[in-house]
């Protein structure tokens, strides 16, 4: 399972996930980057860890041949769920 990397940018905190080599052609990218919308600290690390589960599951489904995996929707759903669990800023 790929670990999320927290990126500090002028526009805020982002989380980056590495796309496995065998799936890069289907995803169209080496990395998936999403805004965290949490201040740096424990809440940001927890949000990144919660969001780490979603792409890992989606990558597994893609490997099993599920052609209907929308990676952007999977990431958006994970973001919404983490906002509910942790609370928005």
How confident is the model over 11-35, as pLDDT tens digits? 888 888 888 899 888 888 899 888 8
Say yes or no to pLDDT of 50 above 70. yes
Say yes or no to pLDDT of 8 above 70. yes
pLDDT score at 59: 86
pLDDT score at 53: 80
Of 76, 62, 83, whose CA–CA distance to 19 is shortest? 62
- Assigned token pair, 25: 């052609």
- Contact between 6 and 43 under an 8 Å Cβ cutoff? The reply is no
Q: Around 68, how many Cα atoms within 13 Å sit in the side-chain half-sphere?
A: 0
* Residue 58: strand, helix, or coil: helix
Q: What is the pTM of this model?
A: 0.71
- State percent of the chain over pLDDT 70: 92
* Residue 39: strand, helix, or coil: coil
């Amino acid at each position: 399972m790929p670990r999320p990397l927290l990126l500090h940018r002028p526009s805020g905190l982002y989380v980056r996930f590495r796309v496995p080599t065998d799936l890069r052609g289907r995803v169209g990218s080496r990395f998936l980057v999403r805004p965290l919308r949490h201040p740096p600290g424990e809440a940001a690390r927890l949000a990144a860890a919660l969001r780490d589960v979603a792409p890992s599951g989606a990558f597994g489904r893609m490997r099993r041949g599920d052609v209907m995996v929308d990676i952007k929707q999977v990431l958006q759903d994970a973001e919404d769920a983490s906002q509910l669990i942790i609370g928005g800023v």
